[in-house]
Structure 1
Amino acid sequence: MLEVIELYKNLPIPPQKPKKKSPLSKRNRSNRTSKISIPPLPLTLRLARLLFGSFTLLLIATLSLTLGAIIAVFDAKVTDTVPDWRQSWVQTDSPLPSLRLSRTLNLLVLGIEEGVTPTTGSQSSLPKPAETLWLMRFDPVKNAVSVLLIPPQTRVEIPDRGRNPIASAHSMGGVTLTSRVLSQTLNSIPIDRYIRADAATFRSFIDLLGGVELFVPESVSYQDSTQGISVNLQPGWQTLKGEETLGFARFQKKEADRSSIHRQQMILQSVGDRLASPTLGSQLPRIVQLMHEYIDTNLTLEEFFGLVNLLQHRSPDGLKMVLLPGEFTTRRSAPTPYWNIDTTGRDRVMYHYFDQELNPGAQRDRALSPNSPRTLKIALQNASGNPLILGQMLAELKSRGYRNVYPISDWPDPQRQTQIIIQTGDITAATTLKTLLPTAQFQSSSLGDLESEITLRIGEDAVSFKERYWAE
């Protein structure tokens, strides 16, 4: 294992726009020698002692750094050191080391328009707002990944700047300020590492994957002359390349539109499935090379391989995604719509998805108590192909005390099994609801109706609910 770590621990992150390399690197150039006269013997002895002492110190320092890098990953100690990946990638087609994380790691993922330049610190060389903000929790014990999608318009308190969208924290203070503000906003959760990338890297990444398979629920037409993107997608299952995937993710009908975050989750789910595919093995080294060439991060190489390994080998239900609970609000003092956080929903999500302990008392009680059936907002969506089942389900739920239930447009892709989509992280309420729908599957994501707390996507199995369970 030590040899594998030593081989892969110093892989590169050159700048986003690599410069042409000279035929010979500094490492390969011949050392120039100069003619010197041999000093008298006493001086020679002194030089020998000096060289021996310097070599000993260098050897000790090298061993200390190597041991420190290993301990940082495998002894659960977090370091703030930005890794040095300036050497060239040597074995592009060699298999990746199967390193496993030995500690839980919270990773902040930031997407910006363009201009990611790796730096020696965590400040952006080009201060731009963040377009995408994800907080990911990698748990090697549960073999699971949790993802919190944070709307860029989320209104937060920024030190010395007052209330502003979280996206602007990146243009004000880079990754450092963004991490600090998010940590404070999300109940003081520690943020261990970050990854920052731009749109061009995203497109290249999707292309290296061979595209992603997505179900496009409605027509999408998107053009961005500044990025040279033109997308025209029709509904249905499709394999989208990088440019199409980027256009699909960015498309929004209006300024206060959460559907773009909805589509980000669909892409993330598909990417996770693609990474777990055994047919992708030959491409993984090139994917890792791309990520290391064009992203800015303070992950160590061992950690990076550990994250890839966990994504590949997670449990079947080990990828959970949730939108930061809240709603769009417009005020006179802030005419641009902003995302107003639902603090009770936030506390519930941080507890269930990120193991973040709650303060004792009222805060804990509110977060852990399921919403009452009278107030729980449930969207019903028919994906069974039976036009009558929607009305039957609506009547049954209301007879059981669920008052805030409403139908939405049918899902165009037929489903064999009913899905209980947990929009805002209320796992307790979803578990209670499952007693009425025993064959339904939980889906821990926000891929249902964005106005609901739970979306019931009714599948073909729902036809048997009334006959088997509801008659009791």
Structure 2
Amino acid sequence: MTIQRTSAEENHSKTPNMKGRKSITPKSGRWLWFWVGMSGIAMVSAMAGALLAVSLTSTPLQQADLSPQEEAVFDSDAIAGGGLRFSELTRPVNLLVMGMSVLPPDVQNPPEETKNLRYLPQVNSFDGLSDVMLLVKFDPQTKKIVMLSIPRDTRTEIEGHGTRKINAANVEGGPALTAKTVSNLLGGVGIDRYIRINVLGVAKLIDALGGVTVYVPKDMKYQDDSQHLYINLKAGKQHLNGEQALQLLRFRHDELGDIGRIQRQQMVIRALTDQSLNPATLAQMPKILNVVKEHIDTNLTVEELVALLGFGVRTNRSNMEMLMLPGRFSEKGEYDASYWLPSKDSIAKLMAKQFGLESNTENTEPQVTDPSSVRVAIQDSTGSDRAALRPLIRALERAGYRNVYIAKPWNEPLEVTHIVAQQGDGSSAESIRDLLGIGEVRVESTGSLYSDVSIQVGKDWLQHQMPLDDSTQSY
């Protein structure tokens, strides 16, 4: 994610000259922080009370009726403190997030109003395919949030139902079977809680947050009368309402299919996080929850929800990472359907590094990645010809990067170069950033699909044109 200065650093840099003004004594300073702390506790307490009032009205947070065996799939140990520490996470938490796209054929007893229509409307249910799947780790020890996107077409074993696409697990056994399937796929990782939100709720949630400003990477037009799905978006930076954002999230008719959709999901998540994850939005959370709660099913308690939201607000954006399940597309004729084929070895390494799982591979000690083994993709966003990229390629080759290639351009014009750790290798991305002396590191999966690091070249590179030696000073 974007490396930013903390609020404290920004405030310090903006502090005016205090000469001639009355200074705050240590004693008065302690009282100041005491009252700031008490105000924060009061705000969180008020929000928790309002959330509790919301949860006690008509629709409960947990709408699924799980059996004791299904409940046992999830770790029931407390995740938040007690007393005045109720809004603090006390341990790392793995949350399984599922986005549901539910049509009448997906449910046993579809609503009467969905019959005799010429199209298949979305149904306010949780019984369908989980077309969006994220495993999110909130870690108070490292102060990081890690999001792992799992493609809906991932080919895996679903206990009792054979080898299927992973999005079918919810249809066959709800959140518990989905959690078991995800855990088995990811080497036995524990899953503490789940949350399901259907497609109707996503649009309402984005509207309740005031919409989202995001760059639409290209013109998107698609029509499916059978599902009443109409997508019509123009390329460019724009403010989208809930319905428009849903069009961006659901579009998958390009060369990357569902993987392209995951990249757009990460773009929207990042934008929503930057725009909405702040104390002001936190104070509005009871109102927001009241709008969308009939579209949500979760085994999180209100107190746990408060703790997760509070942790999110306090987390520096540079400590939020978005990854994607390592794998590859199946080849034509390889199987009877198209799949995302997970890479077992790469998953083991990722889970060891990001989720703390023990790896069965021999080399478990952290190592410095050899630059010659790093696949570096260059994606231009400036519209320049390739001559402007030659000094960049030469700089990388001098530093030992041998696998450098020009990839498809990045559509969004960037002022600042993005150095994207596509496979989660933030240290290699940092090394490239230090080498170039420009850009910002983002640990996410929006770069060139099979690269380790993607350099999305911005205007700062054209302005910088680092003179490494006499042979490059003419550029």
* Structure 1 residue 435 displacement after superposition: 3.8
TM-score of the pair, normalised by structure 2: 0.73
Q: How many percent identity over aligned positions? A: 30
Is the 8 Å Cα contact of residues 421 and 454 (structure 1) preserved in structure 2?
yes
Is this contact kept in 1: 2:126–2:198, CA < 8 A?
no
Cα distance 1:196–1:417, how it changes in 2: closer, same or farther (>3 A)?
Answer: same
Q: Amino acid of the residue matched to residue 261 of structure 1? A: I
1:246 partner amino acid: L
Q: 1:72 aligns with which of 69, 78, 84?
A: 78
Give the alignment of 1:73-92 within 5 angstroms: 73-74=79-80
Q: Is the aligned partner of 1:411 residue 2:410?
A: yes
**Offset at 1:181?**
1.4
Most deviating of 6-15 and 393-402 = 6-15
Letter matched to residue 72 of structure 1? A
- What's 1:285 paired with? 286
Matches within 5 A, 1:133-172: 133-172=133-172
Bigger shift: 168-177 or 155-164? 155-164
Give a deviation string over 1:384-417, Cα, whole Å, max 9, x none. 4653321221233234432322112433433333
Q: Counterpart in 1 of 2:121?
A: none
Q: Give 1:20-59 correspondences, 5 Å limit.
A: none
Confirm or deny that 1:105 pairs with 2:100.
no
Residue 326 of structure 2 corresponds to 325
Contact 1:138 1:307 in 2 (8 A): yes
Which whole-Å CA distance do the structure 2 matches of 1:470 and 1:425 have between them?
35
**Counterparts of 2:415 and 2:288 in 1: how far apart (Å)?**
35
Tell me which amino acid in the other structure corresponds to 1:381: Q
Unaligned runs of 5+ in 1: 17-69, 77-96, 118-123
The 2-side partners of 1:13 and 1:405 are apart by: 57
- Compared with structure 1, are the counterparts of its residues 438 and 8 closer, same or farther at alpha carbon in structure 2 (3 Å cutoff)? same
Aligned-partner residue type, residue 445 of structure 1: E
Report the aligned-residue RMSD. 3.3
Match of 1:383 in 2: 381
Residues 145 and 227 of structure 1, relative CA distance in 2, 3 Å threshold: farther
Q: Aligned partners of 2:302, 2:225: CA distance in 1, in Å? A: 36
Pick closer, same or farther for the CA change 1:241–1:262 going to 2, 3 Å: same
> Equivalent residue for 2:239?
239
Whether the 8 Å contact between 2:80 and 2:86 is mirrored in structure 1 is no
Question: What is the distance in 2 between the residues matched to 1:470 and 1:348?
Answer: 42
Distance 1:319 1:470 in 2: 40
Q: Distance between the aligned counterparts of 1:356 and 1:13, measured in 2? A: 40
Per-residue deviation at 1:305?
1.2
Q: Distance in 2 between matches of 1:71 and 1:382?
A: 48
Query: Would the alpha carbon gap of residues 7 and 214 (structure 1) be closer, same or farther in structure 2, given more than 3 Å must change?
Result: closer
Which residue identity is paired with 2:215?
A: F
3-state DSSP class of the match of 1:131?
Answer: strand
Output the CA distance in 2 between the equivalents of 1:127 and 1:71: 27
Instruction: Give the whole-Å Cα distance in 1 for the aligned partners of 2:470 and 2:344.
Output: 36
Offset of residue 206 of structure 1? 0.9
After superposition, give the CA deviation of every residue in 1:315-361 in whole Å (9 maximum; x if it has no partner): 131321011111111364622111111223222322333233323x5
**Equivalent residue number for residue 250 of structure 1:** 250
Q: How many equivalent pairs are there?
A: 390
Residue deviations 1:240-265, cap 9 Å, x none? 11111111111112586210111010
Cα separation, partners in 2 of 1:166 and 1:295, compared to 1, 3 Å = same
Which whole-Å deviations, capped at 9, do the CAs of 1:100-140 have from their partners, x for residues lacking one? Answer: 222221100111113799xxxxxx98642211100011123
Aligned to 1:337, the other structure's residue is in SS state coil
Change in CA separation of 1:160 and 1:332 when aligned onto 2, cut-off 3 Å? farther
Structure 2 CA distance for partners of 1:369 and 1:299, relative to 1, 3 Å:
same
Q: Establish whether residue 347 from structure 1 lines up as the match of residue 335 from structure 2.
A: no
What does residue 395 of structure 2 align with? 396
Larger C-alpha radius of gyration, 1 or 2?
1
Q: Is the 8 A contact 1:265 1:321 kept in 2?
A: yes
Contact 2:422–2:446 (CA<8 Å) still a contact in 1? Answer: yes
Change (3 A) 1:186 1:222: same
Take 2:283 and 2:170, find their aligned partners in 1: how far apart are those partners?
A: 36
Cα distance in structure 2, aligned partners of 1:344 and 1:98 = 39
